[in-house]
Chains A and B, each alone.
Chain A
Amino acid sequence: MLLIRCPYCEEERPELEFRNAGEAHIARSTNMAGESDDDFEKFFFIRSNPKGVIYERWRHMHGCARFFNAVRDTVTDKFIMTYKAGEPKPSKLPKNSNEVVAK
């Protein structure tokens, strides 16, 4: 079983307590009515689906119930780091993904 670090509970908890909530850092347009159909399609349906590092929203559903963000490798399924919702996308990732990342 994977252990996922919840930034609100400040510890690693079993994956069964969590739910994936899709790709993170997708900003909703401030002028939705002015969006072209193509731009809306990109915002609403198109996801990057990379092979490798992905930035995702996760929810500690059966724990503190909070949403947070996680950086995960889709090849190894390894969680590289997690951070609170609303915090900026990290510009630099920790070198050793086995390390517990300090906030």
Chain B
Amino acid sequence: MAKAAAKTNASAMPSTAERRPALAGRSVSATGVKLEITPPAERISLRAPEASLAALSKALGVTLPTKPKTSATKAGRTALWLGPDEWLIIDEAGKDPLADCAKVAALHSAVGISHRNVAFSVTGPAAAAAINGGCPQDLSLEVFPVGAASRTILGKSEIVLLRSGPDAFRVECWRSFSDYVFTLLSEAASDAAA
């Protein structure tokens, strides 16, 4: 009996595991706002003291920003300032920032979180209004200019927000919160359009 069951299970198992990104392919369009899931990206959480920043910046190919609420981008790789000794590195060019950090002898902590996060792009003239549906920060261009990045909240979920253009934002959230964040942003997008 047990043997037969094992055999049935084995034949039902696909030969390779299929990776399905959370919410893949879902998108919402409202007047003035488009909400999409961004393609998978490499990500690391980086902690380092000031003395290590030069070596890490060199290895990563992007200068780690030290000013609060800022980011730096070079060749598909973005470094977001999260705290005085904390950065989120996102690589959309398919290169592995973790491997680059591994070559650095200077003190640091780099943790791969590529699959911990899911990101959304929120674009269009009403993008800021849609995000403000759940985020209490001032998103005017004077206070949150292009390139500004911040960990903050959206409704009940923590997010990392990056302004990639005057009318374009990237919203990073934890994978298990992605359904909530997507649904909240969808509702906020239709409210912002109204």
Contacts and interface: CB of A to CB of B under 8 A. Distances in A.
Interface of A: 1, 8-11, 13-14, 16-17, 62-66
Contact of B153 (A8, A11, A17, A65): A17
B69 interface: yes
Interface stretch (B26-34, B81-89, B94-102, B183-191): B81-89
Contacts of A14: 136-137
A66 B86 CA distance: 10
Interface of B: 68-69, 82-84, 86, 136-137, 150-153, 158
Given A13-B137, A14-B136, A64-B68, A8 B152 contact: no
Contacts of A8: 68, 83-84
Contacts of B69: 9, 11
A8 B152 CA distance: 14
21 contacts: A1-B136, A8-B83, A8-B84, A9-B68, A9-B69, A10-B68, A11-B68, A13-B152, A14-B136, A16-B136, A16-B153, A63-B83, A63-B150, A63-B151, A64-B83, A64-B86, A64-B151, A65-B82, A65-B86, A65-B151, A66-B84
Nearest to A8: B84
Nearest to B157: A62
Given A8-B68, A8-B83, A65-B86, 15 more contacts: A1-B136, A9-B68, A10-B68, A11-B68, A13-B137, A13-B152, A17-B152, A62-B158, A63-B83, A63-B152, A64-B68, A64-B83, A64-B84, A65-B82, A65-B151
